Structure 1
């Protein structure tokens, strides 16, 4: 009985998903805080969009991952991660959409892992082990 409760625990799975997605994406955000977002602003400008939209990466790669880590406003934060990853594929990686990398894997596997993991978290919510306890509509 105890073993079944330990392995059949969706709240722990949600916690692990939140920690991995939020924690790993936060590294990308910290890198951009430390080194700037010039290449993102160039990509945004290259798509004929206003360069100030590039600053949204700080929200998508710093604030949203922190919200995921804490389990607060998890669903909007996960949806924001989905948007960030779609924009990354469109603006930065469009030529790699149907490509393999040098090791024979899919060139965008990491981007799609973030995208679909975030989408799953959007539908799952934060779970019990979160700031909200998973009780709100947005968590």
Structure 2
């Protein structure tokens, strides 16, 4: 019985998908409520078109929702990972080698989202999802 509980990779996939998706959605909802001005300013500062800021809503609301539900989880998680790479590049490069006052890595949250998303890309959604983990995209 204990063996069966401890060797449940589908439960592990669910426990990875839920926080990676749900917690990312809070960032998207905040931006939806408060606007994309900060992101537009960051994009403009990097010489990129400001309309790309709207892509953040895809990467922080739609993609995380798909990850949580387990529908097209792999490509959705890849979109999330891309958003995190863009966020690190556009906003957090100055903190790349920094630590917090308590000794933690300054970008630990960003890297947890990035690598959590990449883990979903490689693991898929598992059977505890709407897709039941079937298909190459789930």
Q: Fold-level match, TM-score > 0.5?
A: yes
How many Å separate the matches in 2 of 1:4 and 1:23? 29
What residue in structure 1 maps to residue 11 of structure 2? Answer: 12
How many Å separate the matches in 2 of 1:33 and 1:94? 24
What residue in structure 2 maps to residue 93 of structure 1? Answer: 92
The CA deviation at 1:100 is: 0.8
What residue in structure 2 maps to residue 45 of structure 1? Answer: 44
* SS at 1:61 equivalent: helix
Confirm or deny that 1:35 pairs with 2:34. Answer: yes
Task: For residues 48-93 of structure 1, give each alpha carbon's deviation from its aligned partner in whole angstroms, at most 9, with x where no partner exists.
Answer: 0000001100000000110011000000011001100000000011
Question: TM-score scaled by structure 1?
Answer: 0.97
How many Å separate the matches in 2 of 1:110 and 1:97? 12
The CA deviation at 1:21 is: 0.4
What residue in structure 1 maps to residue 70 of structure 2? Answer: 71
The CA deviation at 1:102 is: 2.1
How many Å separate the matches in 2 of 1:118 and 1:80? 9
What residue in structure 1 maps to residue 58 of structure 2? Answer: 59
What residue in structure 2 maps to residue 124 of structure 1? Answer: 123
The CA deviation at 1:3 is: 1.5
Segments of 4+ in structure 1 off by > 6 A?
A: none
* SS at 1:119 equivalent: helix
Question: TM-score scaled by structure 2?
Answer: 0.98
Aligned residues: 138
Q: Which runs of 5+ in 2 are unaligned?
A: none
